[in-house]
Structure 1
C-alpha cells in the first residue's frame, strides 16, 4: 500500500457509512471503531504524522468529520467505493481481510448486524 493516509481516510468513510446506516451512531459502534483502530490498524504500518501521532487515527478523524458534517451514509460509502475501485490493485489480500473484519465488527457491535448495515 503506497499511501496509507489515503487508505485511512477512506476507511473512516467506510466505517462511518456502516455505523450511520441506520441514521444513529451508538456508543457501542464508537467503541468498536476505537478498538479496531487500536488493535488492527495502528499496527498495520508504523507511519506517524509530523506530531508523532500514529496515522491510523486518521480513520477516527475522518469518521468524526463525517458525523459533524451530517454526511449521509450513502455518500460516505460511495467515497470509499470510488477509492477502492481506483486503487484495488494496490490493496492486498491481508488488507482486504482487515477491512472486512473491521467493518463486520463495527456492524455487529450493536445486537449483531441490522438490516440497513447489510447494505454496506
Structure 2
C-alpha cells in the first residue's frame, strides 16, 4: 500500500498543476494498486474495494473534463474512501490526507512540460 500512497500524492500534485496526462496515468496506477491490494491482502472486504469505484470514477471524470475544482472535490472523496477502508480494517492509524507541502516529492516536476523541455 506504500505504492498507493505515493500514487495518491503524485495524482494530487499532477492535478493541482493541471498536468492532466500525468494525473490520468497516476490514477491508472492507483486503481491498479487498489485492485492488487484486494488480491494480496485477503482480509480486505470486497465492499471496501467496490466502494472505491465511485470516488475513482469521480476523479477520472474530473481529469477528463480538466476541471480543477471538480478534481479537488473528487480527490477529497477518494481520500475519505481510503481512510474509511483503513478504519474498517482496524488500521485507522494509517491516515492519508491531501498534500500541503509542495516540496515533496522533490524529484519530479508536476507541471506540464513541452516535449523538448528537459530543464532542471
* TM-score normalised per structure 1: 0.41
Structure whose alpha-carbon radius of gyration is higher: 2
- Give the structure with the larger helix fraction: 1
User: Higher relative contact order by CA 8 Å / sep ≥ 6: 1 or 2?
Assistant: 1
Please give the TM-score of this superposition, normalised by the length of structure 2.
Answer: 0.41
